[in-house]
Structure 1
Amino acid sequence: MSSFVLERLIPASPGEVFDASLDVELHVRSQGSRRERVVAGPTSGMLRDGDGITWSARHFGIRFRLASVVYDVDRPRRFRDRQTRGPFSSFVHTHEFLSDAEGTRMRDTIEFRSPFGPLGRIVDAAVMRRHLIGVISERNDAISAHFA
């Protein structure tokens, strides 16, 4: 399994950053370059524990669908989402919100595995890790800008 961790300091309270991270409309705006949209599940408001949602977005010039579920919600400290159907063999995103003197340290831990065994591991190392870092960074840029 491949993984990476990204951290971002955001000048807002953990509760505010937590809520923004579960906001469907903010997420869609954050992925505008990929023309992401909701194709099943809530299209507005905040996602809650147990909510399922299916996203459609362009990656590498191809439109993909990824269905996920939000779980392990512990406001304002943490929540997780995992792929239930989509392009990965496994995809889990842990969102953590740590109080900091300057606001909130938002930590994203991504664990993923592409299909096709050894070939998928090569793809993960050569391409997918860098691509996913860009996707999550773009999302985090939008969350940061929300509080600017």
Structure 2
Amino acid sequence: MMKVHILEQTQRLAIPLDAAWAFFSSPRNLDEITPPELGFRIESCRSDTMHEGQIITYKVMAFPGIWLPWVTEIKAVEEGRSFIDEQRSGPYAFWHHRHTFEEIEGGVEMTDLVHYALPFWPVGELAHGLLVRPKLERIFSFRRKSLGERFGEIG
């Protein structure tokens, strides 16, 4: 049995759509919006330009001194509007992350929609409430704050 969880976050940034797309579609910018305690490191990324089928390998620190490899694939790209990354191997049993961008007055509305599931059911479900969900919420909160400081927020 696998329970799929959902995390969704929308943020309105005071940045033109083309500038937002340029920033978010470059995998190399991920470390700038990831909390330092994750020790996020890109191990392999052959292109600075995101494209369907692109494989990106990372290492993240799950706990102090415990590094986990993470491999994602860019599954779909709709230039200037959305892209999807999916985990091929890593800490989750399932990870599907859709990033969407919509031009609004004064900037762009950016939405992250993540569907994810944990391995080792039912133990993974216990860890979800105690560790995983709070950690994901901290990561996305950090991201929200750093993006707001970098680009400014609308409303």
Structure 1 consecutive aligned stretches of length 4 or more whose deviation exceeds 4 Å: none
Aligned residue among 48, 53, 59 for 2:51 = 48
Using the alignment, how far apart are the partners of 1:137 and 1:75 within structure 2?
26
Residue of structure 2 aligned with 1:139, choices 134, 137, 143? 143
Q: Which residues of structure 1 form unaligned runs of 5+?
A: none
1:97 and 2:101 correspond: yes
Bigger Rg, which one = 2
Unaligned runs of 5+ in 2: none
Change over 3 Å in CA distance of 1:125–1:32 after alignment to 2? closer
CA displacement 1:34-75 (0-9 Å, x = unmatched): 221111223x62322211001112122221111000121102
Partner of 2:63 in structure 1?
A: 60
**Structure 2 counterpart of 1:8:** 11
- Mapping 1:92-131, distance limit 5 Å: 92-131=96-135
Q: CA deviation at 1:23?
A: 1.7
The share of aligned pairs that are identical, in percent, is 20
Q: Is the contact made by 1:26 and 1:142 (CA closer than 8 Å) also made in structure 2?
A: no
Shift of 1:78: 0.9
Equivalences, count: 147
Q: Structure 2: how far apart are the matches of 1:100 and 1:112?
A: 29
- TM-superposed CA distance for 1:32, in Å, is 5.6
TM-score normalized with structure 1 length: 0.87
Q: Superposition RMSD on alpha carbons, in Å?
A: 1.9
Secondary structure at 2:51 match in 1: coil
Distance 2:109 2:83 in 1: 14
Q: Provide the TM-score with structure 2 as the length reference.
A: 0.84
